[in-house]
Structure 1
Amino acid sequence: MKEGKPKNIFIKGAITASFIAESIEKHSVKKNIGGHSIFLGQVRADEINGKKVSAIEYTAYEEMAMQKMHEIREAVFEQYELTCMHVYHSLGKVAAGEICLFVFTSSAHRKAAIAACSELVERIKAELPVWGAELFEDNTHQWKVNQ
């Protein structure tokens, strides 16, 4: 496992389409990449007990989350032949329809990129100390058990 400093994966507010596009564009100079896999998590306007979700307010134990993400990152790099891996998660208020999670993996071959991306998403959801409060149109809220 490579030693290194945990990267800050958090972005205040929604992850914009321009941020995602710029991330993809930066990889065009890497000629050894043959496949990318991208997961975009979007806030849903669910209806819960007759109330519609208008946004989610994300909070995290940031230092612990960054350390855990570093451990996950290193484990996934050991398991798959990846060229690049990028993970970004929103903090703060993200409206329904906006992006709150961006996972981007790259490899010489598509299968490794796709498998690694899928594993990353599942591990992020299961292991990172990130929480969301569903905010409803009537200005009430409820905490979500899973992010």
Structure 2
Amino acid sequence: MIRIQEDKIIPEDLINEVRSREAGAIVTFFGTVRSRDETSENVIGLIYEAYEEMAIKKIKEIVDEAGKRYPIMDVSIIQRIGRVNLSEDSIGIAVSSEHRGD
């Protein structure tokens, strides 16, 4: 599942999207808004925009490439759009595989 949404990411829901009886490992990544960037220490939030059709196409390309390199069972990705406040997740990725070798 690849989704672009304004709603907050619920990690447990994302993980459950890739959970299965055959999966022996689930790996997650969450990109979180922090209070500073390369030029400022006054970040109070970020506003994300996306051309959704193109973004989903590009994310699928990345997932397909990863699937060629690693024994991935399932992938779930949520990219936020709109305002994302400090400490909130702007992207969440969950990947399952049979085991966690690579």
TM range (shorter): 0.7 to 0.9
Gaps in structure 2 of 5+ consecutive residues: none
Distance 1:93 1:13, change over 3 A: farther
Question: TM-score, length-normalised on structure 2?
Answer: 0.84
Deviations 1:58-114 (A, max 9, x none): 0112211111111111111122111111111100000011111101111011134xx
The CA RMSD measured in Å over matched residues stands at: 2.0
Matched to 1:22, the amino acid is D
The structure with the larger Rg is 1
Gaps in structure 1 of 5+ consecutive residues: 1-6, 113-147
Aligned residues: 101
- CA distance in 2 between partners of 1:96 and 1:54 (Å): 6
Return the offset for 1:27.
Answer: 4.8
1:96 is the counterpart of 2:90: no
* 1:34–1:108 CA contact under 8 A, matched in 2: yes
Q: Secondary structure at the match of 2:46?
A: strand
